[in-house]
Structure 1
Amino acid sequence: MTHPSPASPVPVERPVPPADVVLPCLDEAAALPWVLARIPAGWRAIVVDNGSTDGSADIARALGATVVHEPRRGFGAACHAGLAAADADVVCFCDCDASLDPGLLVPFVREVAADRADLVLGRRRPRRRGAWPPHARAGNLALSLMLRRRTGLTLRDLGPLRAARRADLLSLALTDRRSGYPLQMVVRAADADWRIEERDVPYLPRVGASKVTGTWRGTWQAVRDMRRVLAEPPLATGPRGPRKEAAR
């Protein structure tokens, strides 16, 4: 007599930890519906309007996002205003141009919430021709090499998709309000001995024209901003544990 083999256990889907997603926005009316439709259930989208003239703020509000107005122009100014407005334990950042799906942040948040990483970054992997122009790739490569010399980190991208604990991010006392903000976050996290991970994410062509890396001139202006960040001396030294515990 044969016995049926036991049924395979049905995997239990773990609940997604709550998070706030900061979306810096400057004239992204065409992309907002796509982006906001992909915010995971239970998460809050914080759209930081940085002076849009195309009705982006009204569209975001109508789609259920929290809208924050930041009159100071600059990518860093918008990101930091969103961080200040966030109240979830874990805060994410994502571009608002439909080049990245915010749903990809779920495993990032799981890693941070489970205390397996302090900062998780997305390494952009282009899925279509033209998603990542050559001048933007060149600028990113140059910055990655400079970052390695400054911190010892071997990162292949300094992309905008990322997640970390809100209290830890505030403890970094970020000051850059231009294009150097994402890099300053990584540099100061490395100086504080954070556990930094990098995950591959698909990268799509953005909707509309880029305000920063759409041209060689814009790209190298961003590189100059970031070189200033790399020239800054470390704020503090010490083991990761005590500093992070004090910040929480």
Structure 2
Amino acid sequence: MTDTTCELTVLMPCLNEARTLGSCVRAARDFIQGSGIRGEVLVADNGSTDGSVEIAEAAGARVVRVPQRGYGAALQAGIASARGRFVIMGDADDSYDFSRLGGFVEQLRGGAHVVMGNRFQGGIAQGAMPFLHRYLGNPVLSFIGRLFFRTHIGDFHCGLRGFSRESVQQLGLITTGMEFASELIAKAALAGLRIEEVPTALRRDGRGRPPHLRTWRDGWRHLRFLLLFCPRWLFLYPGIALLVAGLSGLLLGLAGPQVGPIPLGIHTLLYLGGATILGVQFILFAVLTKWIAVLAGLVAEPPWMTRWGSSFTIENGLLLGLSVFLAGLVWSLWLTFDWGRSGFGPLDPLETMRSAIPAVTLMATGMQATIGSFFAGALHFCWRSARVE
């Protein structure tokens, strides 16, 4: 078959699935033949040593061998080798019914770019999903995914999902582990692709051995990916909160040690200064992380970056940073001069620190902006050099 004649590829990643692979392949072939679809069953084998390859071929599947280990690596190789215009991927552990893929095909034919199965809507058999996965891991990670990427997906990590091969290949998927499942949906949502869901039943794993998935390790890898891929929640929003709280408190503290019922002594001001410095650092990291992702081609340039890009220059960053730093330096020099006029005698810390803390905070944040501007310029220079080469 060629790409123009094959409509559907049913893709199964495989690593020693001899006990269940044959029945999964036969179920998928029965669906394809019974539905009159021009399609194929493709097994992306990740180094099986239990005869899985021979079983898959005997059941009528095409096999592509993937030497690089990892769930994502197997699926990426399978997607690249798929002949179908649409791809439906699913685990070969007999937990999904490959004879019931009609809802996925219907949505894909109707224009959906990605179609997710939803196990919570389709039903989860007794013992098919561990307690922690069902009531903690999946709900929490799915909620974070919906919040971060503004998508309606209810089951972010369902292993049965379909997509337009051309659309997904344009997303630039790079992860090789279990976090591939999160990357696909995150990048599809950021790219504005149409994502739909269909109820999907989950059966007990039929392999009779522990799954490849490791609860805490792979859960953390999913969470880590979601946080790093969405810097506004990891850096920007916490940074804004710290900056607003710190600056507001410092400004109020300049008025005196008591603002209404709120005491603002020098110890409180010290912590507020620290919050301000951390807030600026977080915001800088958010901008730089997004900038790195744009330069690397991982995400499209956001509208705000396109609109204000001409203002984000090294020179403007240096001017802003040095101006803030100089303001703090001049303030500090004035405090020193004022101390000198009194003969450099003993200082009243309650009064001196009320001005010294904001002054030092300005110097620290100004230097942060200056260094951040230089670092952004270095990134841009390296990116341009790599493009020339």
Output the TM-score relative to the length of structure 1. 0.82
Alpha-carbon distance in structure 2 between the residues aligned to 1:108 and 1:127: 19
**Cα gap change, 1:114 to 1:154, in 2 (>3 Å):** closer
- Whichever residue aligns with residue 300 of structure 2, its letter is A
How far, CA to CA, are the matches of 1:128 and 1:185 in structure 2?
26
Structure 2, unaligned runs of 5 or more: 1-5, 230-289, 291-297, 304-389
Counterpart of 1:71 in structure 2 is 67
Query: 1:77-92, aligned counterparts within 5 Å?
Result: 77-92=73-88
What is the CA–CA distance in structure 2 between the aligned matches of 1:148 and 1:127, rounded to whole Å? 21
Q: Post-superposition shift, 1:197?
A: 1.1
The answer (yes or no) to whether the contact 2:113–2:163 under 8 Å persists in 1 is yes
More displaced 10-residue stretch of structure 1: 104-113 or 69-78? 104-113
Q: 1:167 to 1:153 in 2, by over 3 A?
A: same
The structural deviation recorded for 1:92 is: 1.1
1:29 aligns with 18
Structure 1's unaligned 5+ residue stretches are 1-16, 240-248
Aligned counterpart, 1:161: 160
**Residues 192, 237 of structure 1: 8 Å contact kept:** no
- The corresponding residue for 2:299 is 235
- Relative distance call for 1:194 and 1:238 in structure 2 (3 A) is farther
Q: What residue number does 1:152 align with?
A: 150
| Larger deviation, residues 50-59 vs 153-162 | 153-162
Aligned residue for 1:46, secondary structure, equals strand
The answer to whether the 8 Å contact 2:41/2:61 transfers is yes
Could you say what secondary structure the match of 1:203 adopts? coil
**Correspondences of 1:164-203 after superposition (within 5 Å):** 164-203=163-202
Q: Distance in 2 between matches of 1:159 and 1:107?
A: 15
Which secondary structure state, in structure 2, belongs to the residue aligned with residue 92 of structure 1? strand
Query: What is the letter of the counterpart of residue 224 of structure 2?
Result: R
Are positions 1:135 and 2:158 aligned together? no
* One-letter amino acid of the counterpart of residue 152, structure 2: T
- Pair 1:118 & 2:182 matched: no
Matched, 1:57 2:62: no
Distance 2:60 2:39 in 1: 11
SS of 2:91's equivalent? coil
Of the structure 1 ranges 38-47 and 159-168, higher mean CA displacement relative to structure 2 is found in 38-47
Q: What is the match of residue 9 of structure 1?
A: none
Determine which structure has the larger strand proportion and give its number: 1
TM-score normalized by the length of structure 2 = 0.53
By percentage of residues, which structure has more helix? 2
**SS in structure 1 of the partner of residue 56 of structure 2:** helix
Aligned residues of 2:107 and 2:196 also touching (Cα < 8 A)? no
Q: In 1, Cα distance between the equivalents of 2:299 and 2:118?
A: 27
Q: Give secondary structure in 2 for the equivalent of 1:149.
A: helix
Match of 2:259 in 1: none
Between the two proteins, the alignment pairs up a number of residues equal to 218
Deviation at 1:50? 0.8
What's the counterpart of residue 99 of structure 2?
A: 103
CA distance in 1 between partners of 2:23 and 2:83 (Å): 24
Partners of 1:106 and 1:83 in 2: CA distance: 20
SS at match of 2:19: coil
Cα distance between partner residues in 2 of 1:114 and 1:154: 18
Aligned partner of 2:7 in structure 1 is 18
- Greater radius of gyration (CA): 2
* Counterpart Cα distance in 2 of 1:226 and 1:69: 26
Q: Percent identity?
A: 33
